[in-house]
Amino acid sequence: MVLVALVAAGLVRGVGVQTFSIPSASMTPTLAPGDRVVALRAAALLDTVERGDVVVFDGRGSFIGSLPPDMFAQLGAWFGIGPRDVYYVKRVIGIGGDTVQCCDDAGRLLVNDRPIDEPYLAEPSRAASGTEFAVEVPPDRFWMMGDNRYDSTDSRALLGRPGGGMIREERIIGTVTGVE
C-alpha cells in the first residue's frame, strides 16, 4: 500500500501539479516574494504553453551557468526531486517564430511588430524594458520576462550567451495556475 501511495504521489507531481515558492520580487505585482504557486504540468507536457502564460522552468543551462541536467536529473526535476534553487517563474513574452523588441516610442514591447498590452507590469508608467533588444525566437524556444522589469533577471540578461536568452521548450516545468 505504501509503495502504491508513493508511486501515485510521484505521478501526480510528475504529470499533474507541483508547488514552487517565489523567492524574489521579479514577478510583482502578479506574484510576491514568499507566495507559493501551483504549476500545472499539462501545458508543458502537451506543448500548449502560450504567449502571456506565467510558467515555471528549470534554469540550468540558461539562467544558471551550469550544464543542463542529464536525463536522470531531468526526470528527478519532473518528480520534484533535486535542488529547488534552479527553478524560475517568468512570463512568456515570445514563442517560436516571434520577433520581440524593445521598445516603440511609447515604451511598449513589440511582438511581431505590434505593441502588446501589459497590464501586469509593476511600473506601467516606465518603458517596458530598460534594455533595448530585438530578437527572433527560434522554434521550440521561449523569450521570458519578469513583470517587475526593473528588478528581474530574465531573457534580457542572457542576450550575449549561447542561446541568446531563449529558454528551451523542454525546460518548461508547468504553467502557473494559482497561488496557495
Longest dimension (CA), the chain: 63
Query: Does 90 participate in catalysis according to the annotation?
Result: yes
Catalytic entry in 21, 24, 26, 62:
26
Catalytic entry in 90, 129, 152, 155:
90
Distances (CA, A) of 158 to 46, 55, 61, 101: 27, 18, 11, 15
44-49: long-range contacts at Cβ-Cβ below 8 A with a sequence spacing of 24 or more?
44/172, 44/173, 44/174, 44/175, 45/15, 47/169, 49/92, 49/95, 49/142, 49/169, 49/172, 49/175
Query: Does 26 participate in catalysis according to the annotation?
Result: yes
Residues assigned a catalytic role: 26, 90
